[in-house]
Structure 1
């Protein structure tokens, strides 16, 4: 389950900074880098919260989106991560450890499951025609 999107990253971080981090060659952006970082961060989060919660979650708490963005930003900055970026990453891991250990609540029910879809087929039928008392005459 993906806990943050490109828009979430754009709201939290400077657009120019994100563009620089996604450059593979001068003037060429690889948006796949951001998608991979978000997917990797979400997979890491899943590994922590699956110990306590049923996945996928029915709703994604805002705090989880925030931590996913911090982890993904760190993954994008692996070569030139600042101390602040590293600290946010380490704080996110400590927060996830607290969730895993049951010390920090996530804000969703522990037996939370995905909401049921409205697009599933539904079957209805009339009452049975053949029973012990009715021999099939309608």
Structure 2
């Protein structure tokens, strides 16, 4: 996971995390860490889907912007429920993060993380050609 429950609480406040993780319990005083971690795992999977072609995933030490993106995506997911809908601000933030991730995938934005190893043939290997066996060679021309 690219973010933790503590990251979510620090970014959005404990009250909002309690409300989003336990929407049915208005008297709750603690966050539902399992529910938040599930949303963070989902957010990590979304992020990995966008950056997989360019960077080694999972990112071992995610930069701050990846942690922020994971928190925003997880908060949006937590806000979607039977009795709740994400606010306009949450929807706009999620849209901005998805746009940012698309720009990473298009190589318009670069992260300070190790790039993915190139797939396929090694760089500089060049084309390889093969043909049928030679009819005339040094061995077949002996004696002429």
TM tier, smaller: 0.7 to 0.9
Inter-partner Cα distance in structure 1 for 2:3 and 2:61: 12
Whether contact under 8 Å (1:23, 1:30) holds in the other structure is: yes
Shift of 1:50: 0.2
Bigger Cα Rg:
2
Aligned to 1:44: 46
Aligned to 1:92: 97
How many residues of Structure 1 are paired with residues of Structure 2 in the alignment? Answer: 111
Regions of 4+ moved over 3 Å: 27-30
Shift of 1:30: 3.4
Q: Which runs of 5 or more residues in structure 1 are unaligned?
A: 113-138
Aligned to 2:141: none
Whether contact under 8 Å (1:24, 1:30) holds in the other structure is: no
Whether contact under 8 Å (2:53, 2:116) holds in the other structure is: no
Scaled by the length of structure 2, what TM-score is found?
0.71
Whether contact under 8 Å (2:7, 2:71) holds in the other structure is: yes
Q: Which runs of 5 or more residues in structure 2 are unaligned?
A: 118-144
Please provide the CA RMSD for this pair. Answer: 1.6
